[in-house]
Amino acid sequence: MLKIENLHARVEGKDILKGLTLAVNAGEVHAIMGPNGAGKSTLGNVLAGREGYEVTAGSVTFDGVDLLALEPEERAAAGVFLAFQYPVEIPGVNNTYFLRAALNAQRKARGEPELDSMQFLKLVREKLKVMRISDELLHRAVNEGFSGGEKKRNEIFQMAVLEPKLAILDETDSGLDIDALKQVAEGVNALRSPERSFLVVTHYQRLLDYIVPDFVHVLADGRIVESGDKSLALKLEAHGYAWVAEHGEPAG
């Protein structure tokens, strides 16, 4: 589904990704771990097509299509979702209104009919139920006055409505207490399917107790330096990233 080869990317003239190679098949959950400043968020931003991220070498194909040639909106329409894509508070803009606009923009780009407000409300009700989210969230402005946990839950809800093929979750666990963490993980797990893949960026092994990944990768200095199964996360927790530098086999 997603094939990243020898990706090099630069932010503000600084090389951040330095030959990153990664393949993700449909239905797989890949966890990306690694030290601060390694380039994890940069990877997500490059995949989503965020402004200011310049790809200097390498390729990314998504369902056989050159992802890097697509505009950010086209990537979203193709099914790429980056949680934190909408991190900002948008005072006065109703959450439901915002989400419907985002969904209809995607549908339009795919040549699908847009949903009217009744159809959209029906969809939203279904998703709220599956995600076990209170509908109170809908009536508030986008992220305005949301707690950390509410923001994350809202992102998972956005993901449930937009039904991406590839969901990139960047530090979904940061700032969450254990109950909020479990709820977010439950939401992600409810969305796992053979057609949907996840890239889960996390600092801590703890999240992976709840979202059990098929693969764990260590991203350090702009490259994947080690890959393994979920036991790799436990080794990292026990030994730290320095252990990878000393004992890991460079991958890719």
Give the C-alpha separation, 246 to 241, whole Å.
Answer: 9
Q: Which does 223 bind (CB under 5 to 8 A by kind): Mg ion, ligand ADP, none?
A: none
Cβ proximity to ligand ADP, 42 vs 172, nearer residue: 42
| Cβ at position 17, least distance to ligand ADP in Å | 8
| Residue 107: strand pairing partners | none
Q: Which does 85 bind (CB under 5 to 8 A by kind): ligand ADP, Mg ion, none?
A: none
Q: Give start and end residues of each alpha helix (H) in 134-240.
A: 148-162, 178-191, 231-239
Contact partner at residue 187 from Mg ion, ligand ADP, none, CB < 5 to 8 Å by partner kind: none
Residue 42 or 183: the one with the smaller Cβ distance to Mg ion is 42
Q: Which of 30, 40, 31, 36 is nearest to 9 (CA)?
A: 40
Positions touching Mg ion (CB under 5 A) are: 36, 40-41
The sheet with strand 29-33 has its strands ordered as 80-83, 166-170, 197-201, 29-33, 215-220, 223-228
CA 114/CA 105 separation, integer angstroms: 8
Using the minimum distance from each CB to ligand ADP, give the nearer residue, 100 or 217.
Answer: 217
Q: Residue 176, SS3? A: coil
Phi, psi (rounded to 5 degrees) for 209: -70, -25
Summarize as ranges the residues that interact with ligand ADP (CB under 6 A).
11-12, 16, 34, 36-42, 52
Closest approach, Cβ 218 to Mg ion, in A, equals 14
Q: How far is the CB of 232 from ligand ADP (least distance, A)?
A: 17
Contact indicator for 51, 94 with CB cutoff of 8 Å: no
Per partner kind, with CB cut-offs from 5 to 8 A, the member of ligand ADP, Mg ion, none near residue 16 is ligand ADP
The entry of Mg ion, ligand ADP, none that residue 38 binds, CB within 5 to 8 Å by partner kind = ligand ADP
CB of 44 to Mg ion, least distance (A): 8
What minimum distance in Å lies between the beta carbon of 223 and ligand ADP? 12
